[in-house]
Structure 1
Amino acid sequence: MRLTLTSMLMLMSLCGCAPAPAPVHASEARGALPATPPDVPFVYAEADIANLQAQMASGALDSVHLTRAYLERIARLDRAGPRLNAVIELNPDVLKEAAARDAERQRGHLRGPLHGIPLLLKDNIGARPMSNSAGSLALATFRPDDAFLVTRLREAGAVILGKTNLSEWANFRSSQSISGWSARGGQTRNPYRLNHNPCGSSSGSAVAVSANLAAAAVGTETDGSIVCPAAINGVVGLKPTVGLVSREGIIPISFSQDTAGPMARSVADAAALLTAMAGRDAADPATATMPGRAVYDYTSRLNADSLRGARIGVLYGPLDQRPGIGPALQHAIAVLREAGAVVVPVQLPTQGQWQDAERLVLLYEFKAGLQRYLTTYKAPVRDLDQVIAWNRSHADKELLPFGQDLMEAAAAVGGLGSPEYIAARTEARRLAGPEGIDAALRAQQLDALIAPTTGTAWPIRAGAGDDFPGESYSAAAVAGYPSLSVPMAHVNGLPLGLLFMGTAWSEPRLIELAYAYEQRTQARRPPRFKTDSLLANPSPP
């Protein structure tokens, strides 16, 4: 028997320990606490990791108190109040973990900058004792051990608060999917306008960070799943080079493109998370390609003057023609130039030419990678055919809003030895990387490329799929290169992100540039959980 969130919080406040060994699902909190206005002051609102650490170092705060505060905010905002549906499951051991970190601090043992900091994880990342479901009811009772990156986070002192909702199967089930919806977690809602979409597939991670439900979160990306929800929910999202962060223990789509990455309210917090997450793992061969040191302190690159002398290429495209985006981009360019950067227009020589090849790669790799994962971790379903059959037999819950045509297409392809697959993988990576991003950088000796990450959020319309505005991040995703989205402006009260892209392993330089831009603009505004219609005029950048 699982406790309701009300009972969980009562027990936590009485004894300061975890209430039960079984996971507590966020869905059980429906109606558990009376609705409270979401704008009630939250003492830790917008607090960054360094500030929280300083408070704990001074004795003004401890991890148990901070964790309780986030649990109470989740109860009031996620399933009561505005019902964000960002958190799919809470860690029943979270206060036990927080108390253990506090005890270590009292003994003078600090694990690092994340010591005692509560984090949320996307629900395709294994973290005991919680389920790892990818939002699917087929995996609702599946509880594997920690993913490698979770082991690293815990070793760094982080407290795992819970799991976040996502676009089911990381948005690789249907071409008509609704971002932020899963059968297990329901529809995650945009905190800036509750009847609008949060983008995906790391929807819950972005919304939770934006709404101050945790200090920071971890998302995953194959093509846009970190940076799109980061931009649309007004937070920072960092998609690392493939191989910088181990994927072992994460439900996969593509070993060519998958990676986990940090989602935070600031570039500094994203850098702190990346420092803890990155590292070589013998179980993920991609991490063997990491150059230099296996452990690197990305916070050492937080230099507010890093734009001086930088050369940056701006990618113009169809997004610029959408209301408010062109002026916001021009304002961003002006900020970069005022900070000492040279900004020049550029084009990707191969723009979009990788799309057909990428689709084939994802179909083949999803089928093979999912079978490996489900078999290795002894999941209730062991391959893609069984997942498809399970969905059909539970169609009233799983297939009601949209189907599973992407899964069915993946099930129909052959093995990874197929000449079609091998050719597509080579072509996609070449067109997006060496002949795309690298060629653009090399032509004008640039440090990075910038563009609007995507447009603003769109209304949620049941049965209508996503009204997606377009993107600028696909080249970095297909190439396996890093990208970093940072808040840029607001249009009609909805956030826009500015995307920084570079070549492989250029995270230190992207962090420098994005941090310097962020410090000059301070463009993030906390959400106000509104449901009103669009305003008549866009707000200035």
Structure 2
Amino acid sequence: MGKRSMAAMTAALVAGSLLMAGPQAGAQAAGSGTGGSPKPSGTALDGVDLDTVTIPELQARMARGSLTSSALTRAYLRRIEKVDSRIHSVLHVSPTALRQAAASDVRHRRGRTLGPLDGVPVLIKDNVNTRDMPTTAGSLALAGSPPATDATLVKRLRKAGAVILGKTNLSEWANFRSAKPTSGWSAVGGQTRNPYVLDRNPCGSSSGSAAALAASLAQVAIGTETDGSIVCPAGMNGVVGHKPSLGLVSQSGVAPISAEQDTAGPMARNVIDTALTFSVLSGGKDARGGEAAPRGLEGHPGLSNLRGKRIGLWRLPSLGSDVDAVMTRTAKQLRKAGAVVVEVKPPHQERLAELEFPALLSEFHRDIDAYLATREGPQDLAELIEFNRTHPEEQTCFPGQELFEQALAAPPTTDPRYRKTRAELKDLSRRSIDETMASHRLDAIAAPTNPPAWTTDCARGDNDVIPSSTPAAVAGYPSLSVPAGSVGELPVGLLLMAGDQQDTELLSLGAAVEHRLKAWRAPRFLPTVGGDAAR
């Protein structure tokens, strides 16, 4: 994207965000939390509420000199020091964060900023290579020297002037190690907790990124997803998460599961920040050459107008009656705003569930071997399995590495059986979305992102069979989770998905849905709540 088009896009997004922020931010400040409970203290900075401020608002303040990136970065560092001992979401803080912020301040004073992320603190999931901090994927096997170079997406963030604040905890190896994993746990970082209720799970594998955002420890964060690992943590921690279309964000320098499904993506407390971060991660363009940020955010009408939009509601009653009630309330709100909501049931879901895991096993063996060969430590999957066998610290929450062992024995990706499986997966997953959208003339399909967070339990493992993320994840299509409501204290997200390369349209729709629902609220860091939300 050229400087002129980037400036125009940024100006449009600033206008839309500032028009939206007034009444909504005031409502949130007046009563965040159930029953108007007060927000956690320590999120204010010279009149800036870290819980609710958007990137365009921050840039407006920095442009007129009433805020500096250094002050903003220090505020987030103080917040990490004060709060993170309760949720264990941040593994490392960058030793150069304040130096990066000072460089941004110089650019702001000279009027030579590098775009909307200049001076904005960003946390990075710890399976994304950073040259100046460890990148472990949560495993002690990679806890030695940092990678030699940044991942491509980190290079793009640095080039855009973002302040790389630190690295976040994750489900070890992105939840692809044990048959009974506990999301948010890694041997390097221990257990990340859900900021809403501390004994509840944050979902995974981008657990630390989502929990850190919910606790206002950074302005935006980067997650990664193979199937559900951005959107489920976003939903369960009450934030926004965007899984981009496959290929729009480079996976170079990211610890993999499958090149056929993996993508990094942006997470934030609102859609506007998510969209601006996506524009940087994707290099400013979508696959069709258009701007990789949502159109229709240039003013208040574009943000709030859902009239005539057609949304297919996939209810998923298996997630429980409480979640279904949130979906019913959501559909009512969208209809009141003029949207047409029709109930749908995308086909082929049982077959997708049957085929996906065997394909991922073959792909993981191929892709993890290639990644490990670029790092110090185990050089292939067989050596990684042996490392885990001989290091008891890797077994302190759950001992198993059954998925590693199954991947080692899986057919190679040159095997005709594997090729047939992946071809059928691609065909059925795309048809499940394309045919549903075409038959109902939809702008998007909506579904619950997550159930209420279950109680974290290393002995039991996760209770997370959540089918809504699978069609878009397997197809390589975009999905976006926005806050929809809650079951008691526990957030529930609305997952929006659309056709191939429709990221900009989906983000625009997500901004309108977010503005209508106004479902975000700050966490209260409760130690526990009555009853068991585990299904």
TM-score (norm 2): 0.88
Distance in 2 between residues matched to 1:416 and 1:177, nearest whole Å = 25
Higher relative contact order (CA 8 A, sep 6+): 2
Aligned to 1:132: 135
How far apart are residue 39 of structure 1 and its match?
2.6
1:328–1:488 contact (8 Å) kept in structure 2: yes
d(CA) in 1 for partners of 2:377, 2:295:
41
Q: Which amino acid aligns with 1:183?
A: A
Deviation at 1:356, TM superposition (A): 2.4
Distance 1:346 1:77, change over 3 A: same
Out of 379, 400, 404, the position equivalent to 1:403 is: 400
Query: For residue 497 of structure 2, what is the aligned residue in structure 1?
Result: 501
- Amino acid in structure 2 at the alignment position of 1:316: R
Q: Which residue of 2 aligns with 1:261?
A: 265
Partner residue of 2:109? 106
Which residue identity does 2:129 align to in structure 1? G
Aligned to 2:125: 122
1:150 aligns with 2:147: no
Partners of 1:38 and 1:529 within 8 A in 2? no
Change (3 A) 1:39 1:311: closer
RMSD (Å), alpha carbons: 1.9
1:430 deviates by 1.0
**Residue number among 401, 421, 425 corresponding to 1:424 in the alignment:** 421
Give the corresponding residue for 1:78.
84
Query: Is the contact made by 2:295 and 2:508 (CA closer than 8 Å) also made in structure 1?
Result: no
1:490: how far off? 1.1
Contact 1:174 1:407 in 2 (8 A): yes
Q: TM-score, normalised by structure 1?
A: 0.87
Tell me the residue number matched to 2:11: none
Partner Cα separation in structure 2 for residue 535 and residue 395 of structure 1: 34
Contact 1:307–1:516 (CA under 8 A) maintained in structure 2: yes
Q: SS in structure 1 opposite 2:92?
A: strand
Task: Name the stretch that deviates more: 343-352 or 176-185.
Answer: 343-352
Inter-partner Cα distance in structure 2 for 1:126 and 1:508: 27
Contact 1:180 1:199 in 2 (8 A): yes
Q: How does 1:53-452 map to 2 (within 5 A)?
A: 53-79=59-85, 83-144=86-147, 145-279=149-283, 291-293=287-289, 295-298=291-294, 301=297, 303-319=302-318, 322-375=320-373, 377-398=374-395, 400-434=397-431, 436-452=432-448
Amino acid at match of 1:179: S
* 1:152-197 deviation line (CA, Å, top 9, x unaligned): 1111111000000000000000110000000000000000000010
Name the SS for the 1:379 alignment partner. coil
Give the Cα–Cα distance (whole angstroms) in 1 for the partners of residues 439 and 321 of structure 2: 31
Structure 1 residue 66: deviation in Å?
A: 0.9
Q: Indicate how the Cα distance of structure 1 residues 517 and 396 shifts in structure 2: closer, same or farther if over 3 A, else same.
A: closer
- Distance in 1 between the 2:290 and 2:368 partners? 27
Local SS of the residue matching 1:422: helix
Q: Which moved more, 1:323-332 or 1:182-191?
A: 323-332
Alignment CA distance shift 1:382-1:301 (3 Å)? farther
Greater percentage in helix: 2
Helix, strand or coil: the match of 2:360? Answer: helix
- DSSP 3-state at the match of 2:334: helix
Alignment CA distance shift 1:536-1:153 (3 Å)? closer
Shift of the alpha carbon at 1:299?
6.2
Amino acid at match of 1:156: A
Q: Cα offset for 1:523?
A: 0.3
On the 8 A contact 2:296/2:303 being kept in 1, the answer is no
The 1:465/1:263 distance shift into structure 2, 3 A limit, reads same
Q: Which amino acid aligns with 1:49?
A: I
- Confirm or deny that 1:42 pairs with 2:43: yes
Instruction: Give SS of 2:486's match.
Output: strand
Q: Tell me the SS of whatever aligns to 2:265.
A: strand
Distance 1:397-1:237 versus aligned 2 partners, 3 A rule: same
Deviations 1:469-493 (A, max 9, x none): 6331111111111110000001111
Confirm or deny: 8 A CA contact 1:307 1:340 kept in the other structure: yes
Q: Distance in 1 between matches of 2:447 and 2:89?
A: 28
d(CA) in 2 for partners of 1:299, 1:50: 16
Give, as a single letter, the amino acid of the residue that structure 2 aligns with 1:315.
W
Q: Partners of 1:45 and 1:93 in 2: how far apart? A: 22
Deviations for 1:180-227, whole angstroms, at most 9, x for unmatched residues? 000000000000000010000000000001100000100000000000
Partners of 2:460 and 2:347 in 1: CA distance: 34
SS of alignment partner, residue 78 of structure 1:
helix
Take 1:116 and 1:185, find their aligned partners in 2: how far apart are those partners? Answer: 27
Asked whether the 8 Å contact 1:492–1:535 carries over to 2, the reply is no
Shift of 1:535: 7.0
| Secondary structure class of the residue paired with 1:534 | coil
Residues 506-517 of structure 1: pairs in structure 2 closer than 5 A? 506-517=502-513
Show structure 1 runs of 5+ residues with no match: 1-36, 281-286
Give the distance between the partners of 1:299 and 1:344, measured in 2 at CA: 25
| Structure 2 contact 42–79 (Cα < 8 Å) conserved | no
Deviation per CA, 1:444-480, whole angstroms, max 9, x where unpaired?
1111100111111010113110122633111111111
Work out whether 1:526 is the aligned partner of 2:522. Answer: yes
Contact 2:39 2:523 in 1 (8 A): no
Deviation at 1:300, TM superposition (A): 5.3
Deviation at 1:328, TM superposition (A): 1.1
> How far apart, CA to CA, are the structure 1 residues paired with 2:107 and 2:56?
18
CA distance in 2, matches of 1:279, 1:499: 25
| Distance (whole Å) between structure 1 residues aligned to residue 372 and residue 290 of structure 2 | 29
Question: Mapping of 1:23-38 within 5 angstroms?
Answer: none
Does the Cα contact within 8 Å between 1:235 and 1:487 map onto a contact in 2? yes
- Going from structure 1 to structure 2, the CA distance change for 1:41 and 1:396 (only over 3 Å counts) comes to closer
User: How far is 1:379 from its partner?
Assistant: 2.7
2: CA distance between counterparts of 1:342 and 1:351?
24
Q: Is the 8 A contact 2:444 2:497 kept in 1?
A: yes
- Structure 1 pair 346/383, CA: closer, same or farther in 2 (3 Å)? same
Query: In 1, distance between residues paired with 2:210 and 2:530?
Result: 22
Query: Mean alpha-carbon deviation: is it higher for 158-167 or for 136-145?
Result: 136-145
Offset, 1:122: 0.3
Shift in alpha-carbon separation, 1:414–1:192, aligned structure 2, 3 A? same
Deviation at 1:305, TM superposition (A): 3.8
Which amino acid in the other structure matches residue 357 of structure 2? R
SS of the aligned residue for 1:173 comes to: coil
The CA deviation at 1:400 is 4.9
- Residue 399 (structure 1) shift: 5.6
Aligned-partner SS, 1:161: strand
For 1:301 and 1:293, the matched residues in 2 are separated by 19
Instruction: Tell me the CA shift for residue 396 of structure 1.
Output: 4.0
Q: Figure out how many residues of one structure are paired with residues of the other and give that number.
A: 487
Q: Tell whether the 8 Å contact from 2:240 to 2:268 is kept in structure 1 after alignment.
A: yes
Give the letter aligned to residue 243 of structure 2.
K
Rounded Cα–Cα distance in structure 2 between residues aligned with 1:503 and 1:58 = 40
Give the corresponding residue for 2:12. Answer: none
For structure 2, the 5+ residue unaligned runs are 1-37
1:396-441 CA-partner distances (Å, limit 9, x unpaired): 444652310001100112322111110111011111112x111111
1:470 to 458, 466, 469: 466
